[in-house]
A and B are shown apart, each in its own frame.
Chain A
Amino acid sequence: MTISRTTTPTTGGGSMKRTRRWQTALHYLILTVVALFFFLPVYYLIVGSFRPSRQVLSGLSGFVPTNLSLDNYVGVFEHLNSDATGYFSQFAVVSIVVTTVVVAGSLIVNSMAAYSFARMKWRGKKVLFLLVIILTIIPFEAVALPLYYMFSGQRDTIVIQAIPFIANAFSIFLFYTFFLDVPGEIEEAARLDGAGPFRTFFQVIIPITKPAFATVAILTFLAQWGSYLWPVLMVSDATVRPLPLAISIFQNQQPPEWGQVLAFGTMFIVPVLAVFLIFQRWFVASISSSAIKG
Chain B
Amino acid sequence: MMTIPKSRRRSGILGVAAAVSIATLALTACGGPSTDTAGSAVEAGSGEGTIKVWAVDGQAAENDALKKIIANFESSQSKIKVDLKLFPSDQYTKAVNSAAPEDLPDVLDFDGPTLASFVYNGKMAPLKDSVSGETLANQTDSIKSQNTVDDAVYGVGMMNAGLALWGNKKLLDGAGVHYPTTPEEAWTAEEFTGVLDKLATVVPGGKPLDLSEQYGFAGEWGTCCSAGPVIWSGGGTMLKDNKAAGALDSDANVKSLTQFASWKKYTDPNADGLAFTSGRVALSWVGHWTYPTYKALGSDLVSIPLPNFGKGTKTASGTFAWGMGAKSKNGTAAGKFLDHLMSDESVRTYTDANGAPPATKTALAASALYGPGKQLQFLGDQLSKACGTEDRITESCVSVTRPVTAGYPVVTDQVGKAEAAIYAGKDAKEALSAAARAIDQNFADNDGYKK
Contacts and interface: CB of A to CB of B under 8 A. Distances in A.
Q: Tell me, yes or no, whether A and B come into direct contact in the complex with CB atoms closer than 8 A.
A: yes
Interface string A52-82: 0110110000000000000000000001001
B85 A256 contact: no
A255 B86 contact: no
Interface residues of A, number: 39
A53 B271 CA distance: 11
A252 B22 contact: no
B67 A256 contact: no
Contacts of B95: 236
B88 interface: yes
A83 B67 CA distance: 11
Interface string A152-186: 11010000000000000000000011001000000
B30 interface: yes
A84 B90 CA distance: 16
Contacts of A273: none
B98 A134 contact: no
A209 interface: no
Interface stretch (B1-9, B121-129, B155-163, B332-340): B1-9
B15 A153 contact: no
Nearest to B32: A149
Contacts of B91: 236, 249
A292 B18 contact: no
Interface in A16-69: 53-54, 56-57
B88 A152 contact: no
Contact of B278 (A54, A134, A149, A253): A54
A207 to B, nearest CB: 24
B11 interface: yes
A240 B19 CA distance: 35
A153 B100 contact: yes
A100 B290 CA distance: 42
A177 B98 contact: no
Contact of A83 (B33, B85, B103, B278): B85
A126 B11 CA distance: 11
A53 B278 CA distance: 13
A276 B448 CA distance: 55
A180 B86 contact: no
A80 B334 CA distance: 26
B33 A252 contact: no
Interface string A130-162: 110111000000000000011011010000000
B15 A131 contact: yes
**Most B CB within 10 A of own CB, among A236, A238, A258:** A236
A253 B10 CA distance: 52
Contacts of A54: 272, 274, 278
A255 B15 contact: no
A156 to B, nearest CB: 8
Nearest to B2: A292
A134 B90 contact: no
B57 A85 contact: yes
B59 A255 contact: yes
Nearest to B286: A254
A84 B84 contact: yes
B299 to A, nearest CB: 22
A188 interface: no
Given A131-B15, A155-B98, A255-B293, A84 B63 contact: yes
Contact of B271 (A57, A131, A292): A57
B214 A254 contact: yes
A129 interface: yes
B425 interface: no
A53 B274 CA distance: 10
Contacts of B16: 134
A127 B18 CA distance: 7
B94 interface: yes
B98 A152 contact: yes
Contact of A127 (B14, B85, B271): B14
Nearest to B8: A133
A262 to B, nearest CB: 12
Interface in A201-242: 236-239
A56 B1 CA distance: 46
A79 B88 contact: no
A82 B272 CA distance: 25
A180 B67 CA distance: 60
B365 interface: no
A258 B11 CA distance: 51
Nearest to B271: A57
B273 interface: yes
Nearest to B29: A150
Given A249-B88, A252-B88, A256-B272, A130 B59 contact: no
A239 B86 CA distance: 10
Contacts of A155: 98-99, 103
Contacts of B272: 53-54, 56-57, 256, 258
A131 B63 contact: no
Interface string A267-294: 0000000000000000000000001100
**Which 10 pairs between the two chains have the least Cβ-Cβ distance?**
A255-B273, A236-B95, A84-B86, A130-B15, A249-B88, A84-B84, A256-B273, A57-B272, A127-B18, A134-B15
28 contacts: A53-B272, A56-B272, A57-B271, A82-B67, A82-B84, A83-B85, A84-B57, A84-B84, A84-B85, A84-B86, A126-B7, A127-B15, A133-B7, A133-B15, A134-B16, A150-B30, A152-B33, A152-B98, A153-B100, A155-B98, A155-B99, A155-B103, A237-B85, A238-B86, A249-B88, A254-B215, A254-B273, A255-B293
Interface of B: 1-3, 5, 7-8, 10-11, 14-16, 18-19, 22, 30, 32-33, 55, 57, 59-60, 63, 67, 83-88, 90-91, 94-95, 98-100, 103, 214-215, 271-274, 278, 290, 293
Given A57-B272, A85-B57, A254-B273, 14 more contacts: A54-B278, A79-B60, A84-B55, A84-B63, A84-B86, A127-B14, A127-B18, A130-B10, A133-B15, A135-B19, A150-B32, A152-B98, A152-B100, A236-B94
